Amino acid sequence: MSRLQKLLGVGKGYLERLPPVDVHKLLRIVLMNLPYIVIFYVGNKLAWLYQYCVGDSMIERLMVLILNFQMAFSRILPSMHKNELLVGITGAVAVKLMVYMKGKNAKKFRQGVEYGSARWSA
């Protein structure tokens, strides 16, 4: 056993004790959350660019941001400053909540049954 394994407390047979990974379930989770990851990334990049825009008012800074939009994506990695991370997380959570609320308020249609029929009621 190496020093690193001793420090981490990982012994022989550790990998055998791990539960099996369901690849299809993991792939489904990643694909379901991919839009929110993209929203986080774009929000993070735009917040980074807004920090570096020059202007006296918010409107001037937004105009500079729109003109230099491609500059935000010149580096592929997101910004790790707390303000930019917070903007990205807030945007992703807001969209997730909107989708959740829209799903909760959706009408429940039944296949092959007229909506509003007597069979639909309690």
**pLDDT at residue 19, as a whole number:** 80
Domains held by the chain: number: 1
Asked whether residue 54 is domain-assigned, the answer is yes
> Is-contact 102 94, C-beta < 8 A?
no
44-103: pLDDT as tens digits: 999 999 999 999 999 999 999 999 999 999 999 999 999 999 999 999 999 999 999 988
Neighbour count for residue 70 (Cβ, 10 Å): 8
User: Quick one: average pLDDT of 98-116?
Assistant: 75
Per the domain annotation, does 33 fall within a domain? no
Residue 55 domain boundaries: 42-93
